[in-house]
Structure 1
Amino acid sequence: MKTRRTLKAVAVPFLLLTLTACGGGEGGDGSSTDSGDTGNGRYGAPPATGDGDSGGAPGLRTADTELGTIVVDDDGMVLYQFDSDDRGSGTSTCEGQCAQNWPAVPGDETPDVEGISGEIGTITGVDGSPQLTLNGWPLYYYAGDQEPGDLSGQGVGDVWWVLTPEGEPVRG
């Protein structure tokens, strides 16, 4: 019993420190949270709750949040843009640890879109796979968002932002 309490006393603070570590970091990569591959092709994102189809681009739709109406995928997972990317450049600058914390939104087919007025496109992501864009911004998930509607990535490092349906970052 004493061993369990000692283990808890050491493990709980360590776990909390590990899970809450976030910020700008090198290259604006955000959090050190690493949820691992969830088996649905979205590193760090929770498993899809839909029909189990893990291939192709996720559908895009809107959700009303405390930040206003923003872009999410079909599962309600929030999508982000990265200020270090150059809008419309056709390239992503998020690689290495950044790409683990901020996995690219796959774009290997045209997504179903509902309520989005910005232009949907694709680029070749840093891993060579197609990545969805909205109004020229490459789109990303945040590994720290565990549930649909989580906004944990908003403002991380003052470079990661949710997007309006028009494809404009919601800063602040």
Structure 2
Amino acid sequence: MPRTRTKTLLAAPLLTAALLTLAACGGSADAAKDDDARPAAKPAQAVSAKTADSELGKILVDDSGRTLYGFTKDKPGASACDADCVAVWPALTSAKDVKAGSGANAGLLTETRLGEGAEQATYWDWPLYYYAGDATPGDVNGQGLDGEWFVIAADGKLVKQAV
């Protein structure tokens, strides 16, 4: 077989695969029309912080019942949690102002600005976090971790007792 024909025979399946991949990744010719047919995005939902009974007493949770924590390295109203930290301890952020729910003191609930304009909810100057190890509402698996992470009581103080 001549060398040119061998190259053509080998290139043909590769070219076909590439074209099929591009076709699968590309949008329809009517992409603009498809976008117009989609429903408008829902407005951002407001998030609230409220209190709930736990084995540690009344503690702060979000509107879904997920426990909220404070970090002892934070300064009043300022987070000390870096990117590695936030991977395990995500901040309570919201596109809208966080509201005080049942049992939470609205006067203690504020926000602090993070980088890129995002805002993190704070309670009595404690920036609020979730713990990635809490699987269900009411879990307090982050309580006391590293002697730095504690649930927050209804009065805004860190609960430093063991579970």
Tell whether the structures are fold-level matches, with TM greater than 0.5. Answer: yes
Segments ≥4 residues shifted beyond 6 Å? none
Cα distance in 1 for residues equivalent to 2:92 and 2:67: 11
- Between the two proteins, the alignment pairs up a number of residues equal to 118
Q: What stretches of structure 1 of length at least 5 have no aligned partner?
A: 1-52
1:22-171 to 2 correspondences below 5 Å:
55-87=44-76, 90-113=77-100, 114-117=102-105, 119-126=108-115, 128-171=117-160
Cα distance in 2 for residues equivalent to 1:132 and 1:126: 14
Q: What stretches of structure 2 of length at least 5 have no aligned partner?
A: 1-41
Give the match's secondary structure for 1:145: coil
Query: How much identity, in percent, do the aligned residues show?
Result: 40
Cα distance in 2 for residues equivalent to 1:71 and 1:159: 17
Give the match's secondary structure for 2:99: coil
Contact 2:99–2:109 (8 Å) recurs in 1: no
Amino acid paired to 1:77: R
Amino acid paired to 2:81: C
Q: Root-mean-square deviation (CA), in Å?
A: 1.8
Structure 1 residue 59: Cα displacement: 1.0
Structure 1 residue 124: Cα displacement: 1.2
Structure 1 residues 164 and 135: alpha-carbon distance in aligned structure 2, compared to 1, 3 A threshold: same
- Per the normalisation by structure 2, the TM-score is 0.67
Structure 1 residues 124 and 151: alpha-carbon distance in aligned structure 2, compared to 1, 3 A threshold: same
Any idea what the Cα deviations from partners look like across 1:60-118, whole Å, max 9, x if unmatched?
Answer: 1111011000000010000000000012xx32110121011000001432223221125
Amino acid paired to 1:102: W
Structure 1 residues 124 and 71: alpha-carbon distance in aligned structure 2, compared to 1, 3 A threshold: same
Cα distance in 2 for residues equivalent to 1:127 and 1:63: 32
Contact 1:85–1:138 (8 Å) recurs in 2: yes
Amino acid paired to 1:152: N
